[in-house]
Amino acid sequence: MKKSFKEKRKETAKRLGIKPEQIPHHIAIIMDGNGRWAKKKAMPRVVGHRQGAKILEEISVYCVDLGIEYLTLYSFSTENWKRPKAEIKALMYIHTRYLIGIRNTLMKCNVKLVHLGQSAQLPEKLKTALAETMKLTAGNDGMTLALALNYGGRDEIINATKKIAQEYKNGKLRLKNIDENCFAQHLYTADMIEPDFLIRTANEMRISNFLLWQTSYAEFYVTKTLWPDFNKTSVDKAILVYAKRTRHFGTVRKTKK
C-alpha cells in the first residue's frame, strides 16, 4: 500500500526529531557546482554534469520518501546557451538520456514530471523525450517533479504579462480581475504551490533568474557542497535548518513580553 504525504512526513519528522509542519512542502534547488567538481578531480566538465544527473535522480527519489509534495530543479537556464557549444551539446544529450532513463523510477515512485520553461529551442530528440516522459507520468498523483529546463524567471514573467495583455485585449479578462492570483495562474507553475524552501549548492549567493515571482517568501539555504556531492544527509541537514526558521510573510516578528 502506498503511503500518503501525511504518513511520509510524519515518519520523516519522527526520524529528524522535528514536527511534520516543519518540513517544507515544496523544495526548489539551484543545482550548482558540476564543473567545479570535475575540475577538482582533473576531469572534463561533462563528467561533472553526468554525475550531477545521477544525483538529481537520487535526490528526487529521496524527496519522495520524505513526503515532499513538489520538487523543482533548475537544470538549464536561458542564459546557459552562452556556454561553449560542445558543453551545450553534451548537456542536451545528458538531459535526453536522463528523461528516458528515469521513466521506470518515476512510475515506480508515482511521480509526475512537469516542465518549466520554453521547449521550442531544445533539440528535437530532447523535446520528444521530455514530452513522452511527461505524458507517461501525467496520471501519477504522488510528488510532482518540475524540471526547469531552458528556464528564465524574467522570461517567464514577460510571457505571463503578454498572455494577460492578450486576454484583456480580447475581452476575456477585465482590469479589476488582474491581481497576484491572476498573474500566478499565467506562470509555468500555475498548478503548483509556491516553494517554501530554496536550496543552492556550491556556495553561490545569488538567485540566478530562478523563480523570481514564486520565491518571494521562500526560505533560502546555501551550502558549500557541490551538487555532485549533495546526498541524502545534505537534504536532512537542510531540512533541519528550515525547521528552525519562523516564516513571517512580511509581518512583524512577535516578541515575548
CATH number at residue 239: 3.40.1180.10
Asked if residue 256 has pLDDT above 60, the reply is no
The neighbouring-strand residues paired with 221 are 199
Tell whether 177 is covered by a domain. no
User: What is the average per-residue pLDDT within 222-240?
Assistant: 98
The cell numbers describing 39, all together, are 575540475
- Which band of pLDDT confidence, cut at 50, 70 and 90, is reported for residue 247? confident
For the question of residue 80 being annotated catalytic, the response is yes
Q: What's the pLDDT band for 255 if we cut at 50, 70, 90?
A: very low
Range of the domain at 148: 5-11+20-154+196-243
pLDDT at 92 over 70: yes
Q: In this structure, what DSSP letter does residue 236 have? A: H
The count of structural domains within the chain is 1
Mean pLDDT computed over every residue of the chain:
95
In tens, the pLDDT along 144-167 reads 999 999 999 999 999 999 999 999
Active-site residue among 65, 80, 110, 229?
80
Catalytically annotated residue among 32, 34, 150, 196: 32
For residue 252, name the pLDDT band (cuts at 50, 70, 90).
Answer: low
In a domain, 111, yes or no: yes
CB neighbours of 125 closer than 8 A, spacing ≥ 6?
A: 96
